[in-house]
Every structure is written in structure tokens, then in C-alpha cells.
Amino acid sequence: MKITIKDIASLSGVSTTTVSKILNNKDKDISKETRKKVLKIIKEKNYVPSTVARSMVTRKTKTIGLVIPDITNPFFPELARGAEDKANEAGYNIMFCNTDDDLDKEEKYINMLVEKMADGIIFTQSDKRTEGFKNTSLNSIPIILIDRDMDYEGIKGKVLVNNFDGSYKGVSYLLKKDYKKIAFISGPLTLNTGLERLKGYKKALKDFSVEYDDNLVIIGEYKREWGFEAIDILMNKNLDFDAVFCGNDLIAISVIKKLKELGKSIPEDVAVLGFDDIYMADLIEPELTTIRQPNYKMGYKAAELLINVLENPNKKMNEKIILDTELIIRKST
């Protein structure tokens, strides 16, 4: 038989109100002795209050939904970890959902989270999403957008990365090192991230008076396979390039691999620059020069922002945090 607050109350010879107050640290006006007595019984009986019952009346679940494309993509674990750490500090739990960049799955998950009365959602949306949600029930729950930008109702904050600046820094560095024919193996341009990186790339070329060549920019996905394919495409086009700027590290790593297979030495024949600085970036050969994104911090900040919104429901806020990248120079350039 599950033990309830009522049991504790009668066992202690007090009312449930008194027990409840003690449980919730609203015990300003509870006598020391009562407090002690009740606490003792609670411990004895190993009583655990039901959060479900509590949520029923407080309308809060202390649960945050984390909706991301795929935890298996090396970009996300750190982000998830950051969010979880902050949530945990503040007494929240994280419910995690993988959408595979699928719009239907996204909506399904959001619905689930609303049904389960998650207090809020941290959301990295699908690269296929071009508009807001069909489901209006969504608007009942605050959302923090992370990494990928967009505007629609319900968004109470954003944590983004300065992709333009990161890309600009990286490509400028390449240019300074006298690489002049820089191919850009991009991820999809449906996302602001890709778009901004492309802009940074163009801007850097311009500032160094290098002409932009459309042929050198090819667009694919943020996946390892795309790196292999992309090099094939570039080679088949018979293009001349002395450096490759990759949309992310996953692409960069497979590009390096492919290039080596083709007998190119890196960075002598071709320099390779990545984006992200994933866990493995300094373990490959040659160690990857890349633009580090603060993934852990992103997750952490997003949770912080969300909790802030949740615990100050009066203040209408919509903060936008833009985190900086860092150029990590290693051996591949």
C-alpha cells in the first residue's frame, strides 16, 4: 500500500496542511517540535510525496522537454548534457525527444509534451521547418529555440551562435594563410546556420579581394556521407581548390579521409577547416582545425533562459543570446 500525505498526517497527529507546509518549506509558522515529529515519521515511513498529485494543483510539473533531431549526431550530446545539468540544478527533469528532422514527429512530440504538461520546451527544430506550428495547443507552453533560428508564436527566448562571425573568422584565417581557392562544402541552406556561414564565407572572400566562385560552393547535408560525395563532385568538376571549408566537423572528417585516399596530403595539398569542434576533432589525423561552437553552454543557457521564464511568469521576456565561436587552430590547415 502506497503511503500518502494523509497517512503521515494521522500518524503524526496533525493535519495534512501542516505536513504539506513542512514538505514545501513553508514552515515559518510551524513549531519546531511538530516539524521534527513529522519529519521523523516521514523518514520512518519512507514517504515520497507524489509529484503528480502536486502538479495537479500547482499546474507545474518541473519537467522540461528537449526536442532535438538526433542525440546520435555528435553535435547534440553536449548540448543535451548542458541542458540537463542546468535543469537538474534547478530541480527540473528533462524529457528527451528525437525528431529525425521529421516535421510530423516534431508535432507529435510537442503534443505529447503539452499533454504531459511539460512546463516548457527547449527546441532545435527540423531543418525542414519553414513555418510555425499547425497545432495551436503549442502556444500554451513556452519555447526556447536553440541553435536554429526562426520566428513564431510561443517563442520566449533563443540561444544561437554567431555563425556568420565564426565562418568569417575561419575563412579569413585560411585566406591569411594564403589559401585562395577555398571550396565550401555546406550543409542545407534552409537553416539560418548554413545561410549565415555562407554569408561569412562570402564576406571574408570579399574583404580579401578574392572573387567568389559559385562552383566552389556545394550544398548537401550535415552528414558524414556528404563529405565523401562532395569531394567526388568537386573532383569530377575538375575544379582547382587548395582548401575546403566544411559545414561541420562530420563532413570535414570524411573529407579528410577521402582526400587522403586520393593521395592528397593535408594540409600541404589541401587544407581542411571544420565547424563545431566535436569530441573527436583532435583525435583524427591530422588534427582538425575548426570553429568551435559552445554546445554545452548552449544547452545550459537555454535551460537557464527557460527556467527564468518559468519562474518569472509576470515579466514578459524574449531574450536572444548569441554565443561566440572560437577558431581552434590545429594541424589540418
Residues lying near DNA in the complex (CB under 7 A) are found at 2, 4-6, 13-21, 23-24, 26, 28-31, 33-34, 49-50, 53-54, 56-58
Binding site for its own copies (CB under 8 A): 2, 46, 48-53, 55-56, 61-63, 70-72, 74, 76-78, 80-81, 84-85, 88, 93-98, 111-112, 114-117, 135-137, 140, 224, 253-254, 257, 260, 279-280, 283-285
**Cβ nearer to its own copies, comparing 68 with 191:** 68
β-strand pairing of 289-292 with 326-328: antiparallel
First to last CA, the chain: 66
Instruction: Describe the strand order of the beta sheet including 326-328 as a list of residue ranges.
Output: 217-219, 182-186, 243-246, 271-276, 289-292, 326-328
Output helix, strand, coil percentages for the chain, rounded to the nearest 5.
Answer: 45, 15, 40
Q: How far is the CB of 6 from its own copies (least distance, A)?
A: 15
Facing residues of 123 across strands? 67, 145
State the Cα–Cα distance between residues 14 and 37, nearest whole angstrom: 10
Shortest distance, CB of residue 137 to DNA, whole angstroms?
A: 12
The CA-CA-CA angle for residues 239, 274, 225, to 5°, reads 70
Nearest distance, CB of residue 46 and its own copies, angstroms: 5
Of the two residues 6 and 320, which places its CB atom closer to DNA in the complex? 6
Residue nearer to DNA on the CB measure, 26 or 206: 26
Toward its own copies, which CB reaches closer, 285 or 326?
285
CB of 114 to its own copies, least distance (A): 5
**Which of 130, 129, 191 lies closest to 160, judged by CA?**
191
Q: What angle in degrees, to the nearest 10, is found between the helix axes of 295-311 and 76-89?
A: 40
Return the one option of its own copies, DNA, none that residue 72 interacts with (CB less than 5 to 8 A, by type).
Answer: its own copies
Shortest distance (Å) from residue 282 CB to its own copies: 9
Q: Which is nearer to DNA, 17 or 135 (CB)?
A: 17
